[in-house]
Structure 1
Amino acid sequence: MKIAHLIASAVLAAATALTTVALPVTAQAGVVGVSPTGANDWSCRPSGQHPNPVVLVHGTFENMLKNWQVLSPQLKAAGYCVFALDYGNDATAPIAQSARELAPFVDAVLAATKARKVDIVGHSQGGMMPRYYLKYLGGAAKVGELIGIAPSNHGTTNPLTIPTGYTVCPACLDQQAGSAFLTDLNRGGDLVPGPVYTVLSTRWDEIVTPYQSQFLAGPASRVTNVTLQDKCPLDPFEHDQTPNDPVVAQWVLNALSRKGPADPGFRPTCVL
């Protein structure tokens, strides 16, 4: 990870929002942002086949449009009610504060769809931050599954999180390996009673390092940890682009279609 990459990501996110004003705008639960295609149809009602709406949670220096413009329409086409939010000043705010923005958004989704639970798909910080919501904000009773795409579950050893954190990104300090936030989040075990978990990681992750720090500890009935290259050795996707990986989309759909986490024996169709 280079500091220029972080700055470029932030600039790209801002530019994308400014150049796509014709797309739908979300205004629910105090959240306003430009929605990716397929997301935030508040009239959507879940089917018996897909009873849980899917909530998409973007990563640090991102927004819902940039993070989910590929995956969101695929989930919608597969028959899911899809919702997404922007939070935490492009997810740079303290993570506990961002989790307090996620909580009312989930409540709004449940109220609109009349569903009992949602499933959450998150990228990077967005795959880890919901664990705070599950553990401390009552989310465990409202979430069926948490699917993390390159999530920062145990933080990163990348040293550039420190100067970035002290300047423009408190969430970057929270995601530093060994931070007070992560120490508290992971105290007592990675899982909370109720939800199941799927973690999708790439060996080429240059942001959340080492990539194995993304994995969650728990029984196979409740958590599946996936390294993309174990099934697709030539998969080239790195951290930032994992939400756009067609192999990741297959794993996400597999996980959402089951009562438990993703099937560790699943064989995706490799692109390369």
Structure 2
Amino acid sequence: MSAFRSMLVVVAGLALLIGSSRATATAEPQYPVPYDLFVQDAVRDPYGSAAGSNDWNCVPSAAHPEPVVLLHGLGANRFNMFTTISPLLANEGYCVFAPTFGENASLPAPFDSVGGLGRLEDSAAEVGEFVERVRTATGAQKVSIVGVSEGTLVGNYYVKYFGGAHVVDKFVSLGPAWRGTLGTGPNGDGQWILDLAPDDARTLIPFCAGCPQGLPASDFLAKLWASDAGSYAGLYAPSVTYTNIMTRYDQLVIPYTSGYAEAPNATNIFVQDQCSQDYSDHLAIAASRVATGYVLNALDSESTRAVPCVLVTPFHGG
């Protein structure tokens, strides 16, 4: 073999090696998806982010041009609520982002990492600021939201009152509490609790101003349901597509039908209707293969897939 031909072989080999290295370096990262919220890292690093989320260099793909913003529930944060959903969506090619909103900075560490404690209106404003940061970083015109529990109320308040209706495409709710929870008082609406203190409620639960706002008789929910010419059922923004995913074993949203609200742009799903083996409670629904299957289909209705039916245990998921 001539020296020239040998040189060509070496150059070709180097080109293949470099090309292979580039392909590996630019391949989509794959994250383990634990169908369990109680993973070690979420306990060890309460100020962190769930795997696959908050990569501010993420560029939305052509298949999934809209980033997904995850909104946690009461007493949770951007990490521990999304140890399942975040890596699952990232593996599907979504840019995933999640804030912790409503923290109480006066609490000692690590309790200052607990979210959802502030006034829900204030948390909705925080979400609005976070969404704008996501849009600026990614260049996306719109985002989709996946909210859990209190995150559904905060997220939809942002949609209705802080401009979110113009930038949110799909709104997926897990364990939504549209009509509030604990409607079990003498008159069936929770007013007996609110009568103990003003609706502002900082005097009722000093460290959690948002807690009583999830009661059925709260002023917050009344405003969330306020009808206007641009809303369906008084609740939904008509420009947004809603999917409500609920469990009949919800022990915190009472009654479990609180999140069921019909409208032309809303789909209501009880996971047990298609899978009797799903025993997820209010917490485990965020780590359920069944529920997250519905989440994937709600976010990408043009590429729906069969939702699995497997055993899902309370508290942990599966």
Query: Where on the TM-score scale, by shorter chain, does this alignment land: which range?
Result: 0.7 to 0.9
Offset at residue 19 of structure 1 (A): 1.7
- 8 A contact 2:68–2:97 mirrored in 1: yes
1:109 lines up with 2:134 in the alignment: yes
In the TM superposition, what whole-angstrom CA distance separates every residue of 1:122-168 from its partner, at most 9, and x where no partner exists?
100012211111111001001001101001111012569948x6223
Give, as a single letter, the amino acid of the residue that structure 2 aligns with 1:208: V
**Which one of the candidate residues 62, 66, 74 is aligned to 2:88?**
74
- 8 A contact 1:128–1:148 mirrored in 2: no
1:271 lines up with 2:310 in the alignment: yes
Contiguous gaps of at least 5 residues in structure 2: 1-36, 104-114, 228-233, 312-318
* DSSP-derived class of the 1:238 partner: coil
2:273 alignment partner in structure 1: 230
Equivalent runs, 1:167-182 vs 2, <5 Å? 167=205, 168-182=207-221
Offset at residue 234 of structure 1 (A): 1.9
Equivalent runs, 1:54-133 vs 2, <5 Å? 54-89=68-103, 90-133=115-158
Bigger-Rg structure (1/2): 2
Give, as a single letter, the amino acid of the residue that structure 2 aligns with 1:83: F
Give, as a single letter, the amino acid of the residue that structure 1 aligns with 2:309: C
Equivalent runs, 1:231-270 vs 2, <5 Å? 231-258=274-301, 267-270=306-309
Give, as a single letter, the amino acid of the residue that structure 1 aligns with 2:260: F
Equivalent runs, 1:197-236 vs 2, <5 Å? 197-219=242-264, 222-236=265-279
Using the size of structure 2 for normalisation, the TM-score is 0.72
- 8 A contact 1:158–1:207 mirrored in 2: no
User: Which of the two has greater strand per residue?
Assistant: 1
Q: Distance in 2 between matches of 1:234 and 1:136?
A: 39
Q: Distance in 1 between matches of 2:101 and 2:183?
A: 24
* DSSP-derived class of the 1:34 partner: coil
1:183 alignment partner in structure 2: 222
In the TM superposition, what whole-angstrom CA distance separates every residue of 1:249-271 from its partner, at most 9, and x where no partner exists?
11010011127xx98xx752101
Give, as a single letter, the amino acid of the residue that structure 2 aligns with 1:112: A
- 8 A contact 1:117–1:142 mirrored in 2: yes
- 8 A contact 2:43–2:80 mirrored in 1: no
- 8 A contact 2:70–2:145 mirrored in 1: yes
Offset at residue 64 of structure 1 (A): 1.2
Q: Distance in 2 between matches of 1:159 and 1:233?
A: 27
In the TM superposition, what whole-angstrom CA distance separates every residue of 1:174-231 from its partner, at most 9, and x where no partner exists?
1001211101110211111311100000000010111111112211xx1100001001
Q: Distance in 2 between matches of 1:18 and 1:253?
A: 26
Contiguous gaps of at least 5 residues in structure 1: 1-11, 22-32
Q: Distance in 1 between matches of 2:222 and 2:277?
A: 34
- Range 184-193 or range 78-87, more displaced: 184-193
Q: Distance in 1 between matches of 2:298 and 2:71?
A: 16
Percent identity of equivalent pairs:
38
Give, as a single letter, the amino acid of the residue that structure 2 aligns with 1:133: Y
Task: Evaluate the alpha carbon distance shift between residue 56 and residue 246 of structure 1 in structure 2; reply closer, same or farther with a 3 A threshold.
Answer: same
- Range 168-177 or range 247-256, more displaced: 168-177
Task: Evaluate the alpha carbon distance shift between residue 233 and residue 18 of structure 1 in structure 2; reply closer, same or farther with a 3 A threshold.
Answer: closer
In the TM superposition, what whole-angstrom CA distance separates every residue of 1:46-86 from its partner, at most 9, and x where no partner exists?
11110100000000011111100111001000010000010
Give, as a single letter, the amino acid of the residue that structure 1 aligns with 2:171: L
Q: CA RMSD in A?
A: 2.4
In the TM superposition, what whole-angstrom CA distance separates every residue of 1:92-126 from its partner, at most 9, and x where no partner exists?
11100100100010000000000010000010001
